[in-house]
Amino acid sequence: MAKQTAPVNKNTIVEVTFEDLTHEGQGVAKVDGFPLFVPYGLPGEKATVKVVKLQKGYGFARIMEMSEASPDRVEPPCPIYKECGGCSLQHLSYEGQLRAKQKHVQDVMQRIGGFPDVNVLPTLGMDNPWTYRNKAQVPVGEREGGLIAGFYQKRSHEIIDMETCMIQGETNDQLVQHVKEICQKYGVEAYNEKTHKGNLRHIMVRTGANTDEIMLVLITRTKDLPHRKAILEEVVEAFPNVKSIVQSINLKRTNKVIGDETRVLWGRDVIYDTIGGVKFAISAQSFYQVNPEQTEVLYGKALEYAGLTGDETVIDAYCGIGTISLFLAQKAKHVYGVEIVPQAIEDAMRNAELNGIRNVKFEAGAAEDVIPRWVEEGVEVDVLVVDPPRKGCDASLLETILEMKPKKVVYVSCNPATLARDLRVLADGGYGVGDVQPVDMFPQTGHVECVALIELK
């Protein structure tokens, strides 16, 4: 058996000072250089902790007693904060959260990207960092014969029943509760993931922040929904802003929420919302940012960095349903959008038509395949915008960018670590990295989005 090199054992009780926060919001303390990750610890605090788990090279502990608290520590207002896995930073003041996110971006820029001097600006936050989510997606379960709905407990699949969530929009909470009560009344059974029996898996609600239109999605294990007519009538009567009720059928044993088959039970197949004057049709499957107020801030910053005058040709390399593309099209000569998900491209085309925007072209496919073909066909790119998933840009797309040499690259990122990695590749290929602007899209959690400007030297 390998020799235990950690300076602590499981159940060791030790005094520590927290030095840092992880991107998940855990406090980081070191014992003889050995890192311990501790929930609810904040930088600068001193505490007695108990080691609960050891891995190779690091461990986990929990706070037994706090001897010196941070001036940024606040009492979490949510009654189920410590059980629920939805938020991780409610114990840190909002000003403290914004500073922590800026520091996190600075740290990964230095550690992963090798940029000691990059200018990371202060995080752009919200005036009201609560009730900002326009989408609720909650699993349904059963306890003592009654239906429950809420987020999963941290690191488990135990559902924490809740009536309100402090980061969800109020209407979303009320509708989830109402659906839960109606389904309970009509004897609809909750899905049991251990036995793969039961009917209702998840309740999803989407709200148009600027239109107040509501979509309800019932995700079921079975094709039929017992007492469907009565359930629909009661929902529509109680919530007149509901414009769409959709059933998503998910027959599989899977953690994936939305199923392969979607059918409209009542009303339209989409709801509408606007961001910065652009109208969007949002379906049950559409990827649409969950914090509309900060989405406008994020896209506004991307538009500012693009510096469009009306003469530029822009490519949006991960265009989704066209949210950034249509934003840019208002100021660009022409915008080309590419996205690997065909359904998203259909939505993007529909959204362009909805707004009467003609100076855009959308195509389904991998960016690294489609963009070189566009260039071969004579498209001369001035600005390239990328908004990749958490894993960052595909390596072959980065190669494509370096071959094409657009004057500017605007990088919108939901993961500072992969942003730093990709910026390093572009910097080594002849680009200069300008300002990096963190934007707080998910207050009370450790997540942070960024917009970075990269220019050809």
Q: Based on the number of CB atoms within 10 Å of its own CB, is 41 exposed (0-12), middle (13-18) or buried (19 or more)?
A: buried
pLDDT bracket for residue 5 (50, 70, 90): confident
Nearest in space to 386 (alpha carbons), one of 444, 339, 334 = 339
243: number of Cβ within 10 Å: 20
The answer to whether residues 8 and 51 touch, using CB atoms and an 8 Å cutoff, is: yes
Mean pLDDT value of segment 116-130: 97
The answer to whether residues 263 and 246 touch, using CB atoms and an 8 Å cutoff, is: yes
Beta bridge partners of residue 49, listed in sequence order: 14, 63
Percent of the chain with pLDDT strictly greater than 90 = 90
Mean pLDDT value of segment 84-112: 95
Is 285 among the domain residues? Answer: no
d(CA 446, CA 176): 25
The per-residue pLDDT for 266 is 98
The per-residue pLDDT for 107 is 95
Which one has a higher pLDDT value, 197 or 145?
197
Same domain, yes or no, for 446 and 304? yes
The tokens for 89 are 């930073």
1: number of Cβ within 10 Å: 3
Write out pLDDT tens, residues 287-305: 899 999 999 999 999 999 9
Mean pLDDT value of segment 423-435: 97
Mean pLDDT value of segment 123-148: 94
Same domain, yes or no, for 146 and 184? yes
The per-residue pLDDT for 24 is 85
Same domain, yes or no, for 24 and 107? no
With H, G, I as helix, E, B as strand and everything else as coil, classify residue 289.
Answer: coil
Percent of the chain with pLDDT strictly greater than 70 = 99
d(CA 398, CA 294): 27
Which one has a higher pLDDT value, 3 or 426?
426
With H, G, I as helix, E, B as strand and everything else as coil, classify residue 390.
Answer: coil
The per-residue pLDDT for 426 is 98
pLDDT bracket for residue 60 (50, 70, 90): very high
Same domain, yes or no, for 263 and 192? yes
Would the pLDDT of 3 be above 60?
no
Would the pLDDT of 51 be above 70?
yes
Same domain, yes or no, for 305 and 426? yes
Same domain, yes or no, for 117 and 141? no
Mean pLDDT value of segment 29-47: 96
Mean pLDDT value of segment 426-441: 97
Same domain, yes or no, for 236 and 321? no
What length does the chain have? 457
Looking at the structure of the chain, the number of domains it has is 3
Residue where one domain finishes, among candidates 272, 307, 336 = 272
- What is the arrangement of strands in the sheet containing 261-267, beginning at the earlier edge strand? 146-149, 135-143, 200-207, 214-220, 242-249, 261-267
Mean pLDDT value of segment 116-125: 97
Write out pLDDT tens, residues 298-356: 999 999 999 999 999 999 999 999 999 999 999 999 999 999 999 999 999 999 999 99
Same domain, yes or no, for 304 and 441? yes
Name which of 30-34, 150-154, 280-284, 364-368 the model is least confident about. Answer: 150-154
With H, G, I as helix, E, B as strand and everything else as coil, classify residue 238.
Answer: helix
Same domain, yes or no, for 267 and 339? no
- What is the arrangement of strands in the sheet containing 449-456, beginning at the earlier edge strand? 360-364, 334-339, 313-316, 383-386, 408-413, 449-456, 431-439
Nearest in space to 261 (alpha carbons), one of 272, 247, 273 = 247
8: number of Cβ within 10 Å: 19
Nearest in space to 139 (alpha carbons), one of 227, 198, 224 = 198
Same domain, yes or no, for 121 and 143? no
Same domain, yes or no, for 45 and 120? no
The per-residue pLDDT for 2 is 47
Is 97 among the domain residues? Answer: no
Strand locations in 132-290 (E): 135-143, 146-149, 200-207, 214-220, 242-249, 261-267, 271-275, 278-282
Q: Which residues contact 416 (CB under 8 A, 6 or more apart)?
A: 23, 104, 105, 108, 109, 438, 448, 450
Mean pLDDT value of segment 397-408: 94
* CA-based torsion, 221, 225, 231, 236: positive or negative: positive
The answer to whether residues 181 and 163 touch, using CB atoms and an 8 Å cutoff, is: no
Would the pLDDT of 1 be above 60?
no
Would the pLDDT of 358 be above 60?
yes
Mean pLDDT value of segment 152-157: 83
The tokens for 12 are 């060791």
d(CA 415, CA 425): 16
Is 266 among the domain residues? Answer: yes
Write down the mean pLDDT value for the chain: 95
Is 317 among the domain residues? Answer: yes
Mean pLDDT value of segment 233-261: 95
Residues with a known catalytic role: 414
pLDDT bracket for residue 227 (50, 70, 90): very high
Is 6 among the domain residues? Answer: no
Specify the DSSP class assigned to residue 317.
T
d(CA 402, CA 393): 13
| Residue in the structure block whose two tokens are 């071969």 | 376
d(CA 248, CA 258): 6
Beta bridge partners of residue 153, listed in sequence order: 84
Is 281 among the domain residues? Answer: no
Residue where one domain finishes, among candidates 243, 272, 301 = 272
* Residues of the domain holding 38: 13-68
Q: What is the DSSP string of 417-436?
A: HHHHHHHHHHHHTTEEEEEE
Nearest in space to 92 (alpha carbons), one of 16, 192, 173, 18 = 18
d(CA 205, CA 165): 13
Same domain, yes or no, for 181 and 234? yes
Is 73 among the domain residues? Answer: no
The answer to whether residues 341 and 317 touch, using CB atoms and an 8 Å cutoff, is: no
The per-residue pLDDT for 84 is 87
pLDDT bracket for residue 389 (50, 70, 90): very high
